Amino acid sequence: MKNIVILISGRGSNMQAIVEAGIPGANIAAVIANRPDAAGLAWAAERGIATLALDHKLYGSREAFDAALAEAIDACHADLVVLAGFMRILTPAFTERYAGRMLNIHPSLLPAFTGLHTHQRAIEAGCKLAGCTVHFVTAELDHGPIVFQAAVPVLDDDNESTLAARVLAEEHKLYPAAVRAFVEGRIVIDGLRVKVRD
C-alpha cells in the first residue's frame, strides 16, 4: 500500500476525482488544507478520510508553516504528496524533502502560464489550445518534471469560467491517471523528462 496525503485549499474537486478513482494500492491517508473553511475537508471527512486544517495565517513565516505541514505529512508515513488546488507557494526545504514524490496539477499547458489566472491569460494571449499539466513539484514554481498533459480547444466565445470548466473536466481524468502510474511504480524521472511505462 502507498500512503497518499492530498493538500487542498478549496473545493477539492481534483481530490474527489482521485478518491473516487479507487486506485488499487493507494491509501488516502489524509487530506490537509491550509484554509479551515476549505469545502473539500468536509467532503473527505464525510467519507471517513482523516482531515486536518493548518491555517497558514497562524504561522509567523512560510518556513514555520511548511515545518508544521511536513510534520503532519510525515506522521502519515506519506509515500506521495498530491497538491490539488493547493494555493500556497512552498519553501525550497519543503520541496527538497518531498523531491520525486510530490505532484501538482496546474491549469495550463506548462511552461506557458505559470502562476495564477491561467485561463484569463490564455484567452487574452489568443491561444487556440489550453489545458492542464501534472508535474513533480520543485522549488521553482510550476517548473518541475512534466508527467502528463491534456489539451482542450479555446473557443471564440470562451470566457474564464467556460474555459476553466472545460480544462477541469480533463484534470479530473489526468490527475487520477498520474497518481495511479506513480502508485504502480511506472514513472521514471530523468532530469526534466519523465517516462511513464504503459
State the residues that interact with ligand NHR by CB under 6 A.
Answer: 83, 86-90, 95, 104, 106, 115-116, 137, 139, 141-142, 144
**Which of 6, 174, 18 has the alpha carbon at shortest distance from 79?**
6
Q: Could you say whether residue 29 binds ligand GAR (CB under 6 A)? A: no
Judged by CB, which is closer to ligand GAR: 133, or 191? Answer: 133
- 116-155 positions binding ligand GAR, by CB under 6 A: 132
CA 5 to chain centre: 11
- Name the binder of 188 from ligand GAR, ligand NHR, none, CB < 5-8 A by kind: none
User: At 176, which helix (H) or strand (E)?
Assistant: helix 160-183
Residue 145 DSSP symbol: P
Position 187, amino acid: I
Judged by CB, which is closer to ligand GAR: 153, or 185? Answer: 153
106 is catalytic: yes
User: Edge-to-edge, what's the strand order for the sheet holding 51-53?
Assistant: 51-53, 26-33, 2-8, 80-83, 102-106, 129-136, 146-153
Binding to ligand GAR by CB under 6 A, coded x per residue (else -) over 7-26, reads -x-xxxxx------------
CB atoms closer than 10 angstroms to residue 63:
13
Which residues are known to be catalytic? 106
Give the binding site for ligand GAR (CB under 6 A): 8, 10-14, 84-85, 87, 105-107, 132, 168, 171
